[in-house]
Amino acid sequence: MFLRFFKGTGPGVLLLIILTLLAVWASAFLYPATDAISCYETDPMPLYRLLKFVIGSKPLPGVLFSFSLVSVMAFLLVNFNTRVVFINERTFLPALIYIISGGLFPQFQLLNPVLPASIFLMMAINRIIDSYHEQGIAYNFFDAGILISTGSLFYANLIWLGLLIIIGISLLRTGNLIEIAVSLIGLVTPYLLTAGLYYITGKEVAALLSTVSYNLFSRTAGYVFSGLTQVTLIFTGILILVCVAFLIKLMSTKKIKSRKTFSLLLWVFLISAGIYVVLPSVSVEIVWIISIPVSYFLTHYFVFPKKKLVPEILFFVLFALVFMIQLWYLK
């Protein structure tokens, strides 16, 4: 019954999702956290440095800004499925699941570079998928390159998601070398413009290279997982595996564009999880990016279950565990 209500699209569901968003972020507003240990705070990327300057040093405006970005992302997630219709059902569940996923780590519900970067990534995914059946050379990949590269000027490790452009070309197109070249130009352009701006304003271009290198390869402080968080992550990990297995099982039954969209989202998940495992500069802040494909995987499973009771239980347990984390953080 709990899941069945959230699968609806009426105004009551939308209102409850808004209330859920407020509840998940209540601890952030009541007790704003500060993150001075991540490498992206020690030597911020250019656009994140500018954002920090504009918002100021007080934590509450940063929390409010991040809260607004989560709201925007929730809208973008729902809108993407509405346009592409790869889940084959109109639902607000992707927004709800993204909101819940962000509640796993209350300490990162604050001003951070990953949220604005994830907005740029979501727009880039839209541009890549829009290239499907595009006549002639698809300049969508140039746009996607610029979007991902601009996002990486907030959060440097987003640049690794530039691999999605090449993957998108191989999935959606016939492998045109011009499109590959155009996409690489798109990836490079924001950095060339930034380097030019550094030069014009009298800053050392080497300082930009040093900042990028530091944010990509330095070791950030480790995150201490509480027992409750560990239990929640284990449960969530198992749930994601179940949802991905369910998706792969049904992949052959879907329309071509839907299959390609889900394939691209799987690559977003794999690349994001991969850089978390491999790179010492990446910590649990990556949840804001990983939650993008996960929101769709879980939505697909919850919308098309064979057995009604099991998804209801899994959804309720996930919901309850995240709110327990939030309550624990308030202590």
CB 109 within 8 A of CB 23: no
Cα–Cα distance for residue pair 5/234, rounded to 1 Å: 26
- The pTM assigned to this predicted structure is 0.94
pLDDT tens for each residue of 166-190: 999 999 877 678 888 999 999 999 9
Lowest mean pLDDT among 132-141, 152-161, 210-219, 278-287: 132-141
Share of the chain above pLDDT 90, in %: 65
Whether 99 has a pLDDT exceeding 90, the answer reads yes
Q: Which residue has the higher pLDDT, 3 or 41?
A: 41
Across 284-306, average pLDDT: 92
- pLDDT number for residue 2: 73
Whether 331 has a pLDDT exceeding 70, the answer reads no
Q: Is 264 in a helix, a strand, or coil? A: helix
Q: Is 70 in a helix, a strand, or coil? A: helix
Residues near 1 by Cβ (< 8 Å), separated by ≥ 6? 312
pLDDT tens for each residue of 222-244: 777 888 999 999 999 999 999 99
Cα–Cα nearest to 289, from 140, 132, 163, 102? 102
- pLDDT number for residue 118: 97
Residues near 60 by Cβ (< 8 Å), separated by ≥ 6? 29, 32
